[in-house]
A and B are shown apart, each in its own frame.
Chain A
Amino acid sequence: MSKVWALAGLVVWELYRRKDFYVLFVLTALITVLMGSAGLLHGVRAVRYVEELCLLLIWISALVIAVTTTARQLPAEREHRTLFPLLAKPVTRTEVILGKALGCWVATGLCLVVFYLFFGLVSAVREQAWPLASSLQALWLHWWMLAVVVAMSLLGSLLFATPAANATVQFLVAGGILLVGRHLNTVALGLPEPGQTLIYGLYFAIPHLELFDVRDLIVHDWAPVPWWACAAATLYAAAYAAAFLVLAAVTFRRQPLQ
């Protein structure tokens, strides 16, 4: 496991050195400014609307960071040929996959913490209240949703020719699931066979990323979801992430290096 952590550490270090984190800070500042501008508006509804926008921005930013960071990991190792000295060490390809996935996930998690912390602080200052439990749940579930996205992107980086193609597909898939994933079963009901079975199959096969979206708890100050539901969602995400990583490891082991 120490090899996996060493590889994960390298991914986080690379993000820091490549100044990717600066993008994060700029985005965070943007969110803060947006929150602050809510002072110009009056009324609870206006503040909620701005909060909703800020959280949406956090979701989009985190998704962009997760997908772009993960999509370039293995192609960059191949392109810069750093994969050769790496695999000449007693490291298996499965460990490389796990290390990269863990690194990207941890890096994305660090970004999320900064995003939510800023958001929480500004909310607390403006409204003299901070729904801590709801915020923690939102952060936790958001992070686990990104675990699935990271694993999918890593698998995609082995299947698609370029990081750009992979990233585009990942954005379409993740965006598609978040927007229409929950409605697929309803759509299936109105379709003739074999479309109905096909769409039903898709509905049960895809990872339902929308389950992890609990932004409304923060915006509307609702009570947190039961913790058992939170744990079940965590297990659900872990199962999907593991499945994608197994597929990635098998694909990587079968691929020629040259």
Chain B
Amino acid sequence: MRTDSILRIEELRVEYRSRELRQPARVAVRGLNLEVAAGEVFGFLGPNGAGKTTTINVLLGFVPPTSGAAYLFGVDVRRPIARQRIGYLPEQTYYYRFLSAEELLRFYGRLFQLAGGELDRRVVAALRLVDLEPVRRRPLRTYSKGMLQRIGLAQALINDPDLLILDEPTSGLDPVGRMKVREIIQRLKHEGKTVFFSSHELGEVETVCDRVGILCGGELKAAGRVTDLVREHQANLEQVFLRLIGYTPALPPAEGGVPGVGGAAAEIRR
């Protein structure tokens, strides 16, 4: 066990019981062990239904573990105090649309027991970081998807967290929106924040992450530095990812090799 780990998951197993009688429970996560050190940017990869969001839901106390445990800053995630120093951005932005950006940040700030000048300072800093200060009084219902994603990041940063948990932060964004979110993550990394994020965007993960974990069928297939994984498997991250999740291409690669999945599939076949 690392002494500087901020996030620790031990033998985590999560089962969802079926609502129908005599149906077996569905195992979402099985025997997951993971540690993330302070100041690290950790990418949590996996295909849809791999158990990434379930793991994040356990970390946030939304879903109780069937067995095993998870800790944030050494505190069991089932205790609300474990969430005092974290920021969370959900996969899709769900906020009170009758509020303006400033009102939303003030509300969330109060939940962290911020008040007065300190709250004002944090609200302004968060809005500046995500470039939303000029539109801070506009109701959220008038925001575009990219702006909502950025206000999501701002609310995740309102308490100046030491650990940020981002669930597919660039999902559904246009290239500019993605770039902005990526820049913010890079900036947070330079500020020494720990970032734990799940993503499908392998290029993005390769750019910003120190370490990655690849999850498939609820099991951790590999974890380590991107460079180490690439060297070990002698392939790029996309090929490593496809190989570890056991992807078998259904179609033969196009003549001369086509970039993208076709190209990766060709590499795997070889």
Contact = CB atoms under 8 A, between A and B. Distances in A.
B31 to A, nearest CB: 22
A6 B111 contact: yes
B108 interface: yes
Interface string B126-156: 0000000000000000000000000010010
B81 A90 contact: yes
Interface bin, chain B: 20 to 34
Given A10-B107, A13-B99, A87 B62 contact: yes
B60 A88 contact: yes
Contacts of B83: 88-90
Interface string B46-65: 00000000000100111100
B98 A14 contact: yes
Contacts of A91: 80, 111
A163 B157 CA distance: 34
B58 to A, nearest CB: 12
A42 interface: no
Contacts of A17: 98-99
B110 A3 contact: yes
Contacts of B155: 85
A251 interface: no
B195 interface: no
B203 to A, nearest CB: 27
B191 to A, nearest CB: 21
Interface bin, chain A: 20 to 34
Nearest to A84: B90
Contacts of A84: 60, 62, 90, 94
A2 B111 CA distance: 8
B92 interface: yes
A89 B111 contact: yes
Given A2-B110, A3-B111, A257 B63 contact: yes
Contacts of A81: 90, 92, 94
A89 B99 contact: no
Contacts of A258: 57, 62-63
A183 interface: no
B96 A10 contact: yes
Interface string B80-95: 1101101010101011
Contacts of A9: 107
Nearest to A88: B88
Interface string B117-129: 0000000000000
A21 to B, nearest CB: 13
B98 A257 contact: no
Interface in A73-90: 80-82, 84-90
B113 interface: yes
A194 interface: no
Contact of B94 (A10, A13, A85, A89): A85
Interface of B: 57, 60-63, 80-81, 83-84, 86, 88, 90, 92, 94-99, 103, 107-108, 110-113, 115, 152, 155, 165
6 contacts: A6-B110, A81-B94, A84-B60, A88-B90, A90-B80, A258-B63
